[in-house]
Amino acid sequence: MTSSDIDVRNVTIIGSGPAGLTAAIYTARASLEPLVIEGEPSSTGDQPGGQLMLTTEVENFPGFPEGIMGPELMLNCRAQAARFGAELKTEKVSRVDLSSRPFGIWVGDPEVADPTYRSHAIIISTGAKALMLDQENEQRLIGRGVSTCATCDGFFFRDADIAVIGGGDSAMEEANFLTKFARSVTVIHRRDSLRASQIMEDRARANPKVSFLWDTTVTDVLGDQTVTGVALENVKTGETGTLDVTGVFVAIGHRPNTDLFKGQLEMKDNGYLVTDGKSTRTNVEGVFACGDVQDDVYRQAVTAAGSGCAAAIDAERWLEDQH
């Protein structure tokens, strides 16, 4: 391939969750003919359509008074982007070169000299992954009692007994939030002291519906069609047992999907991309970031979609200034 054969795009969107697809809808309607590299399913949890493809009903996305299934919402967004001319490719980006413009984007073998695409602007919307225990039954029961998002799914656990796994701020926040619905919330933590900030810990300890199981790991999630309990092991004594719960919220942290951009884009200590103020601009001119990959605070589908819109507008204005 000669470098003149390389496909040069106005704007390429990497990632296809609510942020990426909203950016695709907006840039397509602005006649920028965006290319969306939507990713490929993988055993490590990569998923075109993002985290909503792994959820069941979404009740808090505005516009759907009866709720909508997560995968259906994302397929609708995808169809909407395609309707306005976005080109969607089910491929995975293996390498980017942001050192000169038009930027280089590789899919497939990252070692080949020439990139697969070049693009004047890039919108990064590669999202984040909720960390999980990586146990077979935990994975099988996602959306059937196992969740990683109390804000999304807590409502479905009215009067239920729930376990929250983890000892950080997320676990405390989820535990407190879940007591709005649940009868009881048991925080299961692998050590005898929390990682959470003092104020979050105090709040959880003061909540009469929250109790703690210390030095304990969840060795299995129990249940055939839906969750009925968890199997436990005390890491100090080796004692095993079970706890009857119908909900298991795994709150052991998130990891942004930013490995591709290491050494090229500014990141926070926790790996999230840094954007400039209220904009979606990264430290490299022409590269914009939106959605969970740059948001370690809100992490909601609707906030991701909102920032996808902002990224599209930022990219469109930047391209206009360039030409």
- Contact set with ligand NAP (CB under 6 A): 133, 165-171, 173, 190-191, 195, 252-254, 296
* β-strand pairing of 240-244 with 128-130: unpaired
The region, left, alpha or beta by phi > 0 then psi within -120 to 50, assigned to residue 175 is alpha
Q: Report the residue number, 130 or 290, with the smaller CB distance to ligand NAP.
A: 130
Look up 46 and say whether it is catalytic.
no
Helix (H) or strand (E) holding 76: helix 70-83
Buried b (16+ CB within 10 A) or exposed e, 301-318: bebbbbbbbbbbbbbbeb
Q: Report the residue number, 74 or 163, with the smaller CB distance to ligand NAP.
A: 163
Q: Report the residue number, 40 or 215, with the smaller CB distance to ligand NAP.
A: 215
Look up 276 and say whether it is catalytic.
no
Residue 304 C-beta: closest distance to ligand NAP, Å: 17
> Are the C-beta atoms of 82 and 64 separated by less than 8 Å?
no
Q: Report the residue number, 115 or 166, with the smaller CB distance to ligand NAP.
A: 166
Look up 309 and say whether it is catalytic.
no
Q: What angle do CA 284, 289, 295 make, to 5 degrees?
A: 125
Catalytic residue among 149, 290, 292, 314: 149
Coil vs helix vs strand at 210: strand
- Give bridge partners of residue 220 from the DSSP assignment: 231
- Catalytically active residues are 149, 152-153
